[in-house]
Amino acid sequence: MTNSAVVLADTAAYAAAVEEASQAAAAYYATGESVLDDDAYDRLARGIAAYEKEHPQDVLAESPTGKVAGGVAVGDVPHTVPMLSLDNVFSAEQFAAWAASLERRIGRPVTAWSVEPKLDGLAVAARYRAGRLEQLITRGDGTAGEDVSHAIGTVVGLPRQLAEPVTIEMRGEILMTTEQFEQANTLRTEHGGAPFANARNGAAGTLRAKDRPYTVEMTFFAYGVVALPAPGEPAAMPAELPHSETLAHAAGLGVHTAADTAVAPRTVTSVEEAQARIEEVASLRASLPFGIDGVVIKADLAADQRDAGSGTRAPRWAIAYKLPAVEKVTRLLGVEWNVGRTGIIAPRAVLEPVEIDGSTVSFATLHNPADITRRDLRIGDHVMVYKAGDIIPRIEAPVAHLRTGDEQPVVFPEVCPQCGSEIDSSEQRWRCVRGRNCRLVASVSYAAGRDQLDIEGLGATRVVQLVDAGLVADFADLFTLEREQLLALERMGETSTDNLLAAIDAARAQPLSRVFCALGVRGTGRSMSRRIARYFADMDRIRAADVETLQRVDGIGKEKAAGVVAELVELAPLIEKLVAAGLTMTEPGATPPPEPGEEGDAAAPGEGVDGRPLDGMTVVVTGAMTGALEKLSRNQMNELIERAGGKASSSVSKRTTLLVAGEKAGSKRTKAEDLGVRIAGPQEFAELIADFLPSEV
């Protein structure tokens, strides 16, 4: 985690920084649109604070330091109890130092810490009178906020009526989930508006918007409770509850908390345990359906909070551990058009390099031309770029209010940028009319890859040789190659030739699922190819399936099914060549689906019909395998699971039946434990599916 701050050299630089921070904060709290991204604002604020510490005589009254919402938020509805911000730390060392200072302040060790996600939204107070939601108020300057009660009814997790008729105030964050953000931008662009740059700005702008011709849904997560009983009313909750029990009380009343998420609040007993949980939450960040920008650690016991007290800006018993930024504002310099192995023409954004989450990002994905049009992207735009974990960076939207008028429209290609042929633009994803023939080398290399036919020794360089020599026009031609033809190529001696021919011959025995994956049918990959092969059991049944039949395969909808059917017709000559070459066109262990009118609906084809050990189970594999499973790739493990009757999955959820946890299993094991999912080690799992292990294991 970087803890860099803007360095301010003199009084003039300091004054300019204060003005810039104030303008950015004012824009954010007024409309949800700031000229600075979150990380840039944090670095600027840290630079201002550092300068003021060294030069206290120069501190300006309008400085954001020590003020809630930077001192610029407005509001005329007084808060019942000050609604403060949080101070920040940026490393394990800073967190440990803060915790030690808290314990010195209260004069005793803190024995219970609550660790919970720092949700990336807008803080609000929701006031309930006799159990009925009456008022929504923003944080404002901490003493008074803005009335946004017009949004009542559009926020998931804030019921109009609580489970009990209590008078109480729920405090929490209103945000947009990933799904809500996409829906919001679709609605916004359909009504002529510019898309939101990110979910945080979307929530801030939407919460304040009135009289829109459409409704955008948001979500509330409670992080605190304030009891507000009037004289003569019963207490809204027991007094002096630990913070963790307060959240549980809120959930019991029907208010949404983070308890049911992968980053549910957790109570720990030491700073070391808190740090471990921080790292777990950080590792889950990329998979969450909502944004977080840090982790909040609080002294859980009411007595510790009371004795620690609060400052003018933040409580002294809580801290925000900020995580590396996963979104930044940068400029869109251009768009490249690349052609994939199936002829798909994919746009890629060229960006002014920017550091995000510890790496320099110069490119970002753009899904298709329609996506560029919908987001109204223009060359020269300032754009919000998002990156999390190992996910390819993507552009959320242009920051429209930063446009100067010099931006230029993105120019779409009129012919295939690879071969100059016509473009089929009838679907959202454009494609060269030559399809695979446009990128023959890429197509053949993909088919020969480890997770497809696994032809060792057939890299891209060798494929180029074969294509340039006229020996290969598709990957089926690999199986008709003769020894003399290969020996005539440069750098092909007898040993390498014999090894390659042996690898090609061995590929004939690969199961149907790998052969189907090698075809590169659009909309299918390794997992989907296995599901299709296990459902139909042989290639003839796959080719004979219509759109309705294909939809019986888990994960295939009507649109994808139609695409698969159409592409299999296109691939018919290639499939016939593969059949003639002797490739396997059946899936070992799979049971064909029943013919129309036959019995057999009690179990899905290939599942639960022959007593296999994983029938009906959803299995996730994580960590390093040992013993009999040590040499298997993750794809081979998934194939093994499905041969044994199970369904392989990459993420742990309530639907997971079994987690196979190897060494350094990490966050998936933690989540499985939280959900009560059965966990097996590599040896136990190998014994469970021993009859299905490859003979060489």
The catalytically annotated residue of 67, 118, 577, 631 is 118
- What does each C-alpha distance from 555 to 179, 559, 664 come to in angstroms? 19, 11, 30
How many angstroms separate the CA atoms of 151 and 125, rounded? 13
Q: Residue 142 in contact with residue 84, Cβ under 8 Å?
A: yes
* Contact residues for 62 (Cβ-Cβ < 8 A; gap 6+): 18, 19, 22, 71
668 is catalytic: no
Q: Residue 350 in contact with residue 393, Cβ under 8 Å?
A: no
* Contact residues for 448 (Cβ-Cβ < 8 A; gap 6+): 454, 455, 458, 463, 475, 478, 507, 518
At 329, the amino acid letter reads V
Go through the chain and tell me how many residues it has.
Answer: 697
- Cα angle for residues 133, 136, 140 (degrees, 5° grid): 155
Helices 667-675 and 271-284, packing angle to 10 deg:
100
Tokens of 390: 């190992």
What is the Cα 579 distance to its own chain's centre?
Answer: 40
Neighbours of 191 (CB within 10 A): 10
Q: How many helices, marked H, and strands, marked E, lie in the chain?
A: 22, 25
Which residue spans within 306-370 are E strands per DSSP? 318-322, 327-339, 345-356, 359-365
Edge-to-edge, what's the strand order for the sheet holding 678-680?
647-649, 618-622, 658-661, 678-680
At 695, the amino acid letter reads S
Neighbours of 661 (CB within 10 A): 23
SS3 string, 465-511, reads HHHHCCCCCCHHHHHHCCHHHHHCCCCCCHHHHHHHHHHHHHHCCCC
Tokens of 239: 């007094």
- What does each C-alpha distance from 654 to 261, 280, 301, 659 come to in angstroms? 11, 18, 31, 12
Which residue spans within 199-317 are E strands per DSSP? 218-227, 266-268, 292-299
* CA-based nearest residue to 564, from 530, 535, 532: 532
Which positions are annotated as active-site residues?
A: 118
